[in-house]
Structure 1
Amino acid sequence: MKVTEVPEISGAYLFEPTPHSDERGFFCRTFDVEVVRSVGLDPYAFVQDSVSRSARGVLRGMHLRSGAGEAKLVRCSYGRIFDVVVDLRPNSPTYLGRGFFELSDETQRTLYIPAGCAHGFQALTETADTSYRIDRPHDPAEDVTIAFDDPDLAIPWPLPPALMSARDREAPSLAEALKHVQGES
């Protein structure tokens, strides 16, 4: 498994497995304690796994958590997604940096997103299953949402949004969300 630092987001990593393919399909390791540990992350810190299924054009995000935040590993286990990370840690050398990634079932790449970063994605295939491994139990009271189309983020979503939750559609601007998040620090 190859690990690459994400230059736009300090502390973010892309884990790229080596799928072994044959006439049956493929097999690959998507999580390895030693590889995760090799970049200074605690592999045992992840306490919850979740999965979402989205149809083509569905947009989820931009989400983050207030308080201590939430680090996560994200992987598209089926289909393909356009994944976005925005660094919202005021003391980070990449503050307000943006990273764009394509995650898919073909590559099985996993993205590590540090706590304090906003995350969102858009499904690019008819069905896209996205897996999340997070380092703290989810607390809905800490959820913060930022407008997916905020001009300060200028995210180049590849498709027109087909469907969004009311929470995502009505999300406040980046400036408003930052006031909320930084007010709790």
Structure 2
Amino acid sequence: MKATEVPAIAGAYLFEPTPFADERGFFCRTFDADVARSVGLDPDAFVQDSLSRSARGVLRGLHLRSGDGEAKLVRCSYGKVFDVVVDLRADSPTYLGRAYFELSGETQATLYVPAGCAHGFQALSEPADVSYRIDRPHDPAEDVTIAFDDPELAIEWPLPVASVSRRDREAPGLAEALKHMERTRLP
């Protein structure tokens, strides 16, 4: 497994496994504690795993958490997604930087999203399963959502948006979300 820094997002990494393929299919390691440690991540910090399944064109995001934030490992375990990360850490050298990825069940690459970064994706296949491993138990009171179509972010989603949740559809723009993040930042 190889870990590569994501230049547009300080502290983000893409973990790419080395699959063993034969006539039966493939086998690969999707998480390696030693590789995580080698880039400064504590593998024992992750406390919750979740899975979402989305139909083609479904858009989820842009989401993050206020307070201490939430770091996550994200992997498309089946199908394919267009994945987006936006750095909202005011003290980050890549503040407001954006990074785009195609994650797929074929490659099984895992993206590490640092706390303080917004994350979202659009399913490119029918269906797409996305696995999340997060470093804090989920607290809905800390959820922050940013409009996926915010003109300041100008994210070019690859497909027409087939469906979004009510929360995502009614999300405030980037400027309002940043103000909320500032108000809720822990001392």
Q: Please state which band the TM-score falls in when normalised by the shorter chain.
A: over 0.9
Partner of 1:64: 64
- Could you say what secondary structure the match of 2:63 adopts? strand
CA distance in 2, matches of 1:123, 1:55: 6
**Partner residue in 1 for 2:91:** 91
3-state SS of paired residue (1:85): strand
Q: Distance in 1 between matches of 2:148 and 2:40?
A: 31
Identity of aligned residues (%): 81
- Name the amino acid aligned to 2:120: G
- Per-residue CA deviations over 1:39-82 (Å, capped at 9, x if unaligned) read 00000000000000000000000000000000000000000000
Question: SS at 1:90's partner residue?
Answer: coil
> For residue 11 of structure 1, what is the amino acid of its counterpart?
G
Q: Name the aligned partner's letter for residue 15 of structure 2.
A: F
TM-score if structure 1 supplies the norm length?
A: 1.00
Distance in 1 (CA, whole Å) between partners of 2:28 and 2:182 is 40
Give the letter for the 2:178 counterpart.
L
Which consecutive aligned stretches of 4+ in structure 1 deviate over 3 angstroms post-superposition?
none
2:90 maps to amino acid: P
Q: For the residues of structure 2 that align with 1:96 and 1:140, how far apart are their CA atoms?
A: 24
Structure 1 vs Structure 2 CA RMSD: 0.4
Match of 1:3, SS? strand
Equivalent-residue separation in structure 2 for 1:156 and 1:115 (angstroms): 23
In structure 2, runs of 5+ residues without a counterpart are none
Shift of residue 85, structure 1, vs aligned partner: 0.1
Instruction: Calculate the TM-score normalised by the size of structure 2.
Output: 0.98
